[in-house]
Structure 1
């Protein structure tokens, strides 16, 4: 009987926990994804084994698993700097993007002047910008952070501008009738309208910032996943190369999962109904 009471009262005591737990649809999606991954790994293993592909060209999944186990300390040590660079770049790029988006929404002249500049910067390949940033900022952590920030900036800017403007005109008219200030309209209407768009952009940028950090490490670093990728390539150590790639993917997936949980925890309304 006491167990029934404890189970019955667990929900109200931690409503936030039940809100972020995955539902049946999410669980089924994850299960199907794992099944597809297992089938792909099985086919990969069979092809490499049947055709006798050398491990220094394309390692089998078992070789990659062995490299993960053997070099786990090396992979963890390399993951630390990359995670730090990606995280700081994620914060910098998205913070600047949100501030610029707000300035675009409230000042049309600023948008007309600088939106084309943002598009121009986006069209420049990140591998072309990286050497320039290395010359300007040196060989430390700074160019890696800036590269990760640049690769995050544009998706968040575009989605945030659209979100801040995707407000029901009737709500704006109501706030005008109530003599609400611009700040009140922004805090009570525009932020709630923009949050679904912002989180959609954050889920993109949280994976892209890992790529930006790795590209930054390619141009000059003595640590990190990018450095380990280059070292493994020059050593013709394909299993460790694939293990490093897998480690980078795990970092990106973990970031995506964290942002998705934050989105589910913060946005507790139906955006289509609320706005």
Structure 2
């Protein structure tokens, strides 16, 4: 009796799995397409309803600012970038060191953690003038403001991460005569890294906010100063272009933290 084979049973080349680059392009297509659609709606809405430029410029007007005044935007970008990056590292380093102190000293945690919570409850716009009075209108006050705004999330997440090691694991380590430094480097720190990078992603965006706020208080250069100047002079296209550049800086820092996380937290 002849045996018939169905078409599905006939061996053939297996379909290729999509490459890594292809998957990334596919995942990026939706947000990019959505952004383009929103910009088109913005452009059409401004033209159809004849919205005055000083209220809401069209995307093409904002794009023209990048072409005509890119040197001005770039000159004000670098001071904000410097303050953001230095404040990011200073604020997060202080938070990590204090978190390590809290984990190894419950007395320090009970004494200082409520103070950190109280400072975090003060709006940054309220505390920024005080810091300018204390440190002066120079670079130091701006870095302190940028660092302060990203300090508390990192402190909370780092403390939580360092304390996330199970009591059974810690007890086993003590039975095996592991030192405090061995417990920290081989148990506590690996457990805390996912918590830390979650906080660093938040800090990567908030440090830019802190830098811009510090430039609002007393600065003649920087994206924050350019926002104030554009607002009072009704230069709406320049204002929108500056806001987009500030957002681009936040996205850049966020992307750098994400790449670093993938390199460090391989598990």
Which residue among 124, 130, 133 is the counterpart of 1:132? 130
Candidates 220, 240, 243, aligned match of 1:242: 240
Identify which of 217, 220, 229 aligns with 1:219.
217
After TM superposition, the structure 1 = structure 2 runs for residues 58-73 of structure 1, keeping only pairs within 5 Å, are 58-73=56-71
Cα deviation, 1:188-213, whole Å, max 9, x if unaligned, reads 11000000000000000011000000
Query: In structure 2, what is the Cα distance between the partners aligned to 1:109 and 1:168?
Result: 21
Task: State the Cα deviation string for residues 193-237 of structure 1 (Å, max 9, x = none).
Answer: 000000000000011000000000000001000000011111110
| Residues 21-30 or 44-53, more deviating | 21-30
Correspondence 1:168 to 2:166: yes
Matched residues in 2 for 1:249 and 1:179: separation?
50
Aligned residue for 2:150, secondary structure, equals helix
Equivalent pairs counted in the alignment come to 249
| Aligned partner (choices 158, 176, 179) of residue 178 of structure 1 | 176
What runs of 5+ residues in structure 2 fail to find an aligned partner?
1-18
Give the match for residue 141 of structure 2. 143
Residues 98, 22 of structure 1: CA spacing in aligned structure 2 closer, same or farther, 3 A cutoff?
Answer: farther
Give the distance between the partners of 2:162 and 2:52, measured in 1 at CA. Answer: 54
**What is the alpha-carbon distance in structure 1 between the residues aligned to residue 265 and residue 35 of structure 2?**
30
Give the drift of 1:168: 3.0
Give the stretch that moved more between structures: 23-32 or 50-59.
23-32
State the SS of the aligned residue for 1:247.
Answer: helix
Tell me whether 1:39 sits opposite 2:37 in the alignment: yes
What is the match of residue 154 of structure 1? 152
2:88 maps to which residue?
90
Deviation readout 1:51-88 (Å, 9 max, x if unpaired): 00011110011111011111110111100000000111
Which has more radius of gyration? 2
Please give the TM-score of this superposition, normalised by the length of structure 1.
Answer: 0.88
User: Matched residue of 2:55: which SS?
Assistant: coil
Taking structure 1 as reference, are residues 74 and 22 closer, same or farther at Cα in structure 2, changes over 3 Å only?
farther
CA RMSD of aligned residues (A): 1.4
Match of 2:99 in 1: 101
Matched with 1:119 is 117
User: Does residue 252 in structure 1 map to residue 254 in structure 2?
Assistant: no
In the other structure, the counterpart of 1:10 is: none
Q: 1:167 to 1:28 in 2, by over 3 A?
A: farther
Following TM superposition, by how much is the alpha carbon of 1:173 offset from its aligned partner in structure 2, in angstroms?
2.5
What residue is the counterpart of 2:6 in the other structure? Answer: none
Q: Secondary structure at the match of 1:44?
A: helix
Alignment partners' CA distance in 1, 2:206 and 2:189: 24
CA–CA separation in structure 2 for the residues paired with 1:39 and 1:85: 34
Q: Could you say what secondary structure the match of 1:55 adopts?
A: coil
Stretches of 4+ aligned residues off by more than 6 angstroms: none
**Structure 1 position 23, deviation (Å):** 6.1
SS at match of 1:219: helix
Structure 1 residues 95 and 27: alpha-carbon distance in aligned structure 2, compared to 1, 3 A threshold: same
Q: Structure 1 unaligned runs (5+)?
A: 1-20, 270-275
Q: Give how far 1:24 is off.
A: 5.5
